[in-house]
């Protein structure tokens, strides 16, 4: 069982998986056997709302850094998801087609989006935050949002 880092703000608790790295766009990256799985962070899925539809670029798609790799449609918003890594999509979570709600239910686990064969990891890694840093960024973002 994962020991998540977490912070509670008002009635919301946001979790951070310590085994992942994070982009400034709230996408998590987890290295698995030389490839990377990507998914939505907990705060991003909670802020977006219940996910009705998800569209992930299919296997074989070559992604550039900072390119849209997926989009979601929720009750509240449509969100384009930006890839924090470059490489080729080699797998898409098959559960998303029939049960996109797994992203809301288990964003760091069953709700993963796609798997990428990395092409420039050393450069991509430099721009990612570790879990502790991302937790602080998340707190800051929520605090700033509360002021506006």
Partner 1 sequence: MTDMSGKVAIVPCSGIGKTFGTVSRVAAYQVTEDDRPKKTRLVSLAMLVMGDPESKSTLAESPAITIDGCAMACATKMVGQCGGRIAREFAVLDVFRRYHDFKPQGIADLNESGEKLADALAKEIDIEIDNLTSHEEGGHHA
Q: What does the binding site for partner 1 look like in residue numbers (CB under 8 A)?
A: 49-50, 52-53, 75, 101, 104-105
Shorter beta-carbon distance to partner 1: residue 18 or 49: 49
CA distances from 143 to 5, 17, 55, 122 (A): 18, 21, 31, 32
8 forms beta bridges with: 13
Shorter beta-carbon distance to partner 1: residue 1 or 75: 75
Nearest-approach distance from CB 50 to partner 1, in angstroms: 5
Nearest-approach distance from CB 8 to partner 1, in angstroms: 18
Secondary structure letter of residue 112 according to DSSP? -
Shorter beta-carbon distance to partner 1: residue 13 or 105: 105
DSSP 31-95: EETTEEEEEE-HHHHHHH-SEEEEEEPPTTPEEPTT-EEEEEEESS-EEEEEPSS-EEEEEE-GG
Shorter beta-carbon distance to partner 1: residue 54 or 135: 54
Nearest-approach distance from CB 20 to partner 1, in angstroms: 23
Cα dihedral value 109, 113, 117, 123, nearest 10: -90
Shorter beta-carbon distance to partner 1: residue 53 or 133: 53
């Amino acid at each position: 069982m994962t020991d998540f880092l977490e912070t509670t703000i008002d009635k919301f608790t946001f979790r951070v998986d310590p085994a992942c790295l994070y982009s400034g766009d709230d996408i998590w990256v987890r290295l698995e056997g030389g490839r990377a799985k990507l998914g939505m962070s907990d705060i991003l899925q909670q802020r977006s709302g219940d996910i009705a539809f998800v569209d992930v670029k299919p296997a074989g798609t070559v992604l550039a850094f900072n390119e849209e790799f997926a989009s979601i449609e929720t009750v509240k918003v449509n969100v384009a998801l930006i890839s924090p890594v470059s490489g080729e999509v080699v797998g898409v979570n098959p559960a998303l087609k029939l049960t996109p709600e797994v992203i809301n239910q288990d964003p760091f686990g069953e709700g993963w989006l796609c798997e990428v064969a990395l092409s420039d990891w050393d450069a991509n890694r430099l721009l990612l935050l570790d879990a502790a840093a991302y937790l602080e960024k998340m707190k800051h973002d929520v605090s700033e949002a509360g002021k506006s």
